[in-house]
A and B are shown apart, each in its own frame.
Chain A
Amino acid sequence: MLRYLKYTFWTVFWVLVLSFLHYTLPQRDIVRIVDTEVRRVDFGENSIFWAQADTGQDNEGVNRDVRFINAVKENGRIRVYRNEDTGWGWPPYFKLDSSNLQTEAADLVSESRANPQWVILTHYGWRNEFLSIFPNAVGVRATDDPNQRLIPWFNILVLTILAGLALGFFRMTQWFRREKIDPILEDVGETWDAVDARADDARDNARGVWGRFKAWLATWRGKPRV
């Protein structure tokens, strides 16, 4: 039983960590921009998926105007980005130049479908229609080739550093356990052994519903051939 709890815990843990990283780390799309606009947004249940007002402005209101960049990929799929300051908050992009970015995007709008101006648009975040959330654009630059392969060097660097930090943290907890906790445990070791033995006895006496169910399941298995 405890084993399944453990599997569930680690599955949930990794799903959370990976979706957090997938949301926060930058990704790049090659798109042609079709429009830039500003519209008012009333934040509701989805408010944690929105950033904040431009740095230095009042951030108290329940609604404000948000800049948007509408774009289309080469395969015809549409992409809608919001363009908000992250300021000094989370995620730590320290983006203060939304107005400038909006101007750059407006400058790169494709005049027609026949004559596309491709751009590499860096963004983080997710588009979700159910929550009405949009990825936040953080940078844009023009390019000629819509089919080029982009290698995410920045993400490789960040993930490597994170893995190193996680390893360091893991080693430090091991050190902490060895140097600080084990000596204490040794002192109470004998008491603990006694408790452990008693728990083992108790477990043998009462297998519990799950144990009996598993034993029943085991009766369906083939007998090992000798």
Chain B
Amino acid sequence: MILGLIRLNIAALALMLIVYFVLSIWSRSVRRKKLGEEWDEEVQTGDRAAYVEEGLEDYDQSLRRKLILGVFVVPYLVIGLLVYVMNFQ
């Protein structure tokens, strides 16, 4: 029981860490591109690089950024739900 659980947790954590980092980098890169395009099309005043950096700082504080942490929460919720439905219903 304990050994199996530990093995499951290690595998799940390793997988979730990879997914978390890849998603974070990807999402930030997409945000950076969008901010650049926004400056090109709408703002067009001031420093483009500064505009992008400022936008990225806002993004780092945003809810959207924190939603990526769901990568660690959702699988455990699904496991919990499955254990309940499969065995205790």
Contacts and interface: CB of A to CB of B under 8 A. Distances in A.
**A associates with B:** yes
The prevalent SS among residues of B at the interface is helix
Contacts, number: 39
B86 A87 contact: no
Contact of B86 (A56, A93, A172): A93
B88 to A, nearest CB: 8
20 contacts: A56-B1, A87-B4, A88-B1, A88-B4, A88-B5, A88-B8, A89-B4, A89-B7, A92-B82, A94-B79, A95-B87, A96-B86, A96-B87, A97-B88, A139-B86, A172-B22, A175-B26, A175-B29, A175-B30, A179-B29
B17 interface: no
Interface in A64-117: 87-89, 92-97, 100
Interface of B: 1, 4-5, 7-8, 22, 26, 29-30, 79, 82-83, 86-88
B82 A93 contact: yes
A220 B5 CA distance: 65
The prevalent SS among residues of A at the interface is loop
Nearest to B87: A97
Interface size of A as a range: 10 to 19
Interface of A: 55-56, 87-89, 92-97, 100, 138-139, 172, 175, 179
Contacts of B29: 175, 179
Contacts of B26: 172, 175
A92 B15 CA distance: 15
